[in-house]
Amino acid sequence: MLNTIKSAGLPRPDISENATAALDNFGGKPIDLVCFAHLHWDFVWQRPQHLLSRFAQAGRVFYVEEPFFHADDAVAPHIEVKERQHGLQVIVAHLPQYLRTDEAAADQAQAALLTEFFDEQSIEQYSFWYYTPMALGKSRHFAPLLTVYDCMDELANFKFAPPALKSREQELFRKADLVFTGGHTLYEAKREQHPDAHPFPSSIDKAHFGQARLPELSEPADQAGIAQPRIGFFGVVDERLDLELLGQLAENHPQWQFVIIGPVVKIDPAALPRPANIHYLGGKDYQELPAYLKGWDVATLLFADNESTKFISPTKTPEYLAAGNPVVSTPIRDVVRPYGDLNLVHIADNATDFGAAIATALTQRADADWQQRTDNYLATISWDDTWQQMLALMNNRLKAKRPVTPVRAAVLA
């Protein structure tokens, strides 16, 4: 029996009023959007939240997270519904402990819950939007009108990636009508695997991060006591962060204070370098980030050179710049192109050169030409534009399909 729990939403950033267009009607009926994600909606506000919040302004959006496994076997499988901005519904399947070690049975249980939920909510005309191919195990029995794979990372290269991820991705390529990629480097890899792939690099909410330039913005209490100059980084602290580089920079430049903001995941916190001039402030809400950025002298992209960073397109690059911060990055390809090539971001691949680049960047706020060129570039990108372009591609594909009778989930075996 389906047990639906509703919980209150968390405050999140406002979305532009021009993000109001929806998926075209199909056979005269509205189309719902169902997203399958490996990222928790309330973890870090990033690409999925930016895009799907815009979709939710004009239609129903259901964001299906990975399941929550309870610590005992007595819990009956059920769905929790968490309402978020613009009525977006976060869907979480709750499963008993014994299903944790039986992936096929866990997928079957979730498939049954989702089928019941679709019936309960009258989800009959729908499109699927995937962030993880692993979700096929609980969703392949459905028949969506349109399938989109928004490939924001090369997940198979990440730490603890499921062994089946690569084969599932090939299955998703066969099912997908459209493939979007989180950057140009990833697009170059995926365009050979799907005939209708499109690059959509990380974009920017300029108004939100532009608050860091306002003189009246207050300093956060946990950063106010840190001396300057401050060299900052925000993001998830995981295997992508170059801990050796961070430690070397702190040792080589004891006069600089390194501020690291973000949750630590998938790595042992004991592995973090701990000199007195590195300050780990933990995760912060998206709404708080401009206030922290305002207090930095230089922002950094301290990414390691490994398989997990080969295809990334860091959203924080334009966010740092919109806040007015000079930026120094390791040579991540989607940062070098375009930001390094346009001399908007300093690029360095070792501790000595990175330190020298930070020293140069510390003087850059007075460079009116750099600031103007940066703002001119940022004026060409926005999450609103990205969303509108994606929506146009989706609607074009829908128009090419003939109207059909309402689509129901197939009967589960």
Query: What CA–CA distance (Å, rounded) separates 100 from 108?
Result: 12
Q: Are 383 and 369 in contact (CB under 8 A)?
A: no
Q: What are φ and ψ of residue 174, in 5° steps?
A: -70, -30
CA-angle at 324, arms to 319 and 326, nearest 5°: 90
pTM, rounded to two decimals: 0.85
CA-angle at 39, arms to 41 and 387, nearest 5°: 70
Banded model confidence at residue 11, pLDDT cuts 50, 70, 90 = very low
5-203+383-399 and 206-378 share one fold? yes
Query: What CA–CA distance (Å, rounded) separates 307 from 80?
Result: 35
The arithmetic mean of pLDDT across residues 294-322, rounded, is 93
Banded model confidence at residue 18, pLDDT cuts 50, 70, 90 = low
* CATH match for 206-378 among 3.40.50.2000, 3.40.50.300, 3.40.50.150, 1.10.3720.10: 3.40.50.2000
CATH class of the structural domain 5-203+383-399 = alpha beta
Q: Are 62 and 397 in contact (CB under 8 A)?
A: no
Query: What CA–CA distance (Å, rounded) separates 381 from 79?
Result: 37
Q: What's residue 411's pLDDT?
A: 45
Q: Are 146 and 177 in contact (CB under 8 A)?
A: yes
Query: What CA–CA distance (Å, rounded) separates 341 from 335?
Result: 9
- Segments making up each domain of the chain, as ranges: 5-203+383-399, 206-378
What DSSP state is assigned to residue 386? H
pLDDT tens digits, one per residue of 336-375: 999 999 999 999 999 999 999 999 999 999 899 999 999 9
